[in-house]
Amino acid sequence: MTSIVLFGVFFILLLINVPIAVSIIVATLATMLLTIDTLPALTTLAQRLAVGVDSFALLAIPFFVLSGYLMGQGGIAVRLIEFAKVLVGKLPGGLAFVNIISCALFGSISGSAVAATSAVGGFMIPAMEKEGYSRPFSTAVTVTAATTGMLIPPSNILIIYSLASGGVSIAALFIAGYLPGLLVTAFLMMGAAFYIKRTGIAADSTIEVGKFWPSLFGAIPCLFLIVLIIGGIIGGLFTPTEAGAIAVLYSLVLALGVYKELSVKDLYPILLKTVGTTAIVMFLIGASASMSWLMSYEEIPQAISNSLLSVSENAIIILLIMNLILLAVGTFMDVTPAVLIFTPIFLPIAEMLNISPLHFGIMMILNLSIGLCTPPVGSVLFVGCSIGKVSISKIMKPIIPMYVAMILALALTIIFPEISEFLPKLLGLI
Amino acid sequence: MKVIAGIIPKLNKTLRALLATMMALLVLNVTWQVITRFILPHPSSFTEELARFFLIWISLLGSAYAFHTHSHLGFDYLAKKMQSNAAVTTAKLGYVLVILFALGVLVIGGVNLTYITFLLNQESPVLGIPMGYVYLVVPLSGLLFILYGVWGLLEVKDPSNLREHAL
């Protein structure tokens, strides 16, 4: 009964376009009112909204959002693109590869896929069009490649997963994200190469690639940020939150002082955009805090796991079912709410099957990142299409090989936990 | 209607300035924590607590503003497919639900939370700030949600006013 009320109210509100966070809270309230008096229920929910975000670890999120904006607009993205050009620009299909590598590089200094889409896409989509690629294909490449930033650290969604999973180490998650992120990057390059070969695009006739050393030197200050942030976190020098503050400071100095591509008055709109993104994510976290409390109180995860385990006791089949559900969820829900809602439901099941919370988190985020590029709801897809100025229906054909690439990378990651667990084990983080 | 129309732009401007300032202070605050930890012999202890309180304020006040700018994540697929009359009705229903949520959870629940916290004399461990002041942002953001919700309701009279929910 309680789960019918909870999920029923939630889905009805979701369908009529009530913000997800409000849908979660109202559904939780409706369920609580079955057993609890009104005033205590309202007060508990109000308290969860405030206390749910009262965490020093969560502060890393606004910092990585802010540094992402600063890097995107402050000339750092452009230098990473120049560097990517000397790496892969001369290969056949060069600019498509440059786009993918640039997204991965941008992902390795910022934490959000949307930031990567606008920073890299805003530059690469017109550049690719100039070299003879179609706008829809260039957009499809950008939106799928931008999602690698969610796996390649630093990553905001991994911080959120750490919270939702009840404390998997952020440092271990960050390191675990590298290999799967690079795997997706490699598969996306293959997907792009396949599409280019299949459609016979004759492109890159006039591409100019800079010299290796100057481009590398140009990118070194940006690349050093990776060493600073990730090295600092793994080495235990500072917490992810402090690393975020350092990333903000570092990109401020680069953008304002060294590259001089931003002025102090540009900071106001950037700060406001950061507030917007932060508030949206935090409101969802506060809302989900009460819902996941209620679900565990009502033993809803146990009920779901019992019914799943009655279908089969085979770990692979259960994993397959969970992944199919997540793929479906991902098409209509953004990653943040999906992680916050489904981690408390699925993680206990995964642990029963001896899947480590670390591996499960990476798998789940890789899975949900596919949904970010699919209609009807996909924030990265929407941002990419508005930057590429193409309609969603136009990019559906060129994006299919990219979906296939992501799904293959997901399948490999599911089958081989070593892909996510190898590096953290090597560094003694798990 | 006219009264609200006069208030909204001024309120937005103030709120934006306040939020951007808090975000800037948040960055300075944690930067100061890093500096004191590496350079000064005694790491500052108040910064962590202050940063967390800033985050709560930014989250809730920012959420109200994000509601006004239609920035919250949602599922607008069906709403976009609807006939214009149905779309207006659904949008109105959505605003009413958000207003009721804000009134119930944020204002009533929030006032009660703040009241209880003041009554129990709860103070933050390091700074000694009465926690009631921290939680005051809950009812405050509730009032903003209601104001923006009422304004939204007045605005959606015809379908051309339906703005898209964008990230």
Comparing alpha-carbon positions, the chain B residue that sits nearest to A53 is: B56
Higher pLDDT, B44 or A248: A248
Tens of pLDDT along A33-90?
Answer: 999 999 999 999 999 999 999 998 999 999 999 998 999 888 888 899 989 999 888 8
pLDDT at B167 over 50: no
CB atoms B58 and A275 under 8 Å = yes
The pLDDT value given to residue B164:
43
Nearest-CB residue to A17 (from B74, B104, B167): B74
pLDDT at position A200 is 81
Task: Answer yes or no: are the C-beta atoms of B103 and B142 closer than 8 Å.
Answer: yes
Of the candidates A226, A211, A229, the one whose C-alpha atom is nearest the C-alpha of residue A76 is A226
State the Cα–Cα distance between residues B151 and B144, nearest whole angstrom. 10
Contact B73 A383 (CB under 8 A): no
Q: Looking at residues A293-313, what average pLDDT do you find?
A: 86
For residue B84, give every residue at least 6 positions away whose Cβ sits within 8 Å of its Cβ, in sequence order, or none: B159
Q: What is the pLDDT of residue B166?
A: 31
Work out how many CB contacts closer than 8 A connect A with B.
Answer: 201
Q: Is the pLDDT of residue A169 over 80?
A: yes
* Rounded-to-integer distance, Cα A247 and Cα A265, Å: 20
Does the distance separating the beta carbons of A336 and B34 come in below 8 Å? Answer: no
What pLDDT is stored for residue B165 in this prediction? 35
For residue A404, the tally of other CB atoms under 10 A from its CB is: 14
Q: Is B92 on the interface with A (CB under 8 A)?
A: no
From chain B, pick out residues whose CB is under 8 angstroms from the CB of A249: 27, 31
Angle at A3 between CA A327 and CA A357, to 5 degrees: 45
User: DSSP assignment of A37-67, as one string?
Assistant: -HHHHHHHHHHHHHHTT--TGGGHHHHHHHH
Distance CA B36, CA B42 (A): 7
Question: Mean pLDDT over residues A403-429, rounded?
Answer: 95
pLDDT (0 to 100) of residue A309: 84
Residue B25 to residue B31: CA distance in whole angstroms? 10
Nearest of A92, A116, A122, A118 to residue A102 by alpha carbon: A116
Residue among B65, B105, B166 whose CB faces A25 most closely: B105
pLDDT tens for A9-42 read 999 999 998 999 999 999 999 999 999 999 999 9
**Do B106 and A46 count as a contact with CB atoms less than 8 A apart?**
yes
- Of the candidate ranges A312-316, A368-372, B141-145, the one whose mean pLDDT is the lowest: A312-316
Q: What percent of chain A has pLDDT over 70?
A: 99
List of chain B residues whose C-beta atoms are within 8 Å of the C-beta of residue A47:
109, 113, 135
Nearest to A58 among B30, B33, B55 (CB): B55
pTM: 0.91
CB atoms within 10 A of CB A156: 28
pLDDT confidence band for B163 (50 / 70 / 90) = very low
The answer to whether B84 faces chain A, any CB pair under 8 Å, is no
CA-CA distance, B57 to B39, in Å (whole number)?
A: 30
Residue B161: Cβ within 10 Å count: 12
Residue A241: closest C-alpha in chain B: B30
Query: Mind listing the pLDDT tens digit for each residue in A217-247?
Result: 888 988 898 889 999 998 888 889 999 999 9
Q: What is the mean pLDDT of residues A303-307?
A: 86
pLDDT for B74: 84
- Rounded distance, CA A167 to CA A411, Å? 26
Average pLDDT, stretch A132-156? 95
Residues with Cβ < 8 Å from B38, sequence gap 6 or more?
Answer: none
Whether omega for the bond prior to residue A136 falls within 30 degrees of 0, making it cis, is no
Q: Inter-chain contact B59–A282, Cβ cutoff 8 Å?
A: yes
Q: Could you tell me the pLDDT band of residue B69, with boundaries at 50, 70 and 90?
A: very high
Q: How confident is the model at residue A203 (pLDDT cuts 50, 70, 90)?
A: low
Distance CA A162, CA A401 (A): 31
pLDDT value for B136: 97
Distance separating alpha carbons of residues B137 and B141, to the nearest angstrom: 6
Residue in B27, B56, B90 nearest the CB of A17: B90
Contact residues for A220 (Cβ-Cβ < 8 A; gap 6+): none
**Does the structure show a pLDDT above 50 at A259?**
yes
- How many angstroms separate the Cα of A87 from the Cα of each of A77, A252, A267, A296, A367? 15, 27, 32, 49, 28
Cα B60 to Cα A49, B12, B107, distances in angstroms: 8, 15, 12
Shortest CA distance to A247 belongs to which of A226, A264, A217, A267? A226
Taking a C-beta distance cutoff of 8 angstroms, is the pair B53, A55 a contact? no
Chain A positions touching B138 (Cβ under 8 A) are: 46, 49-50
Interface mutation vs chain A, best among B21, B105, B113, most A CBs within 10 Å: B105
Most confident range (mean pLDDT) of A118-127, A178-187, A297-306 is A178-187
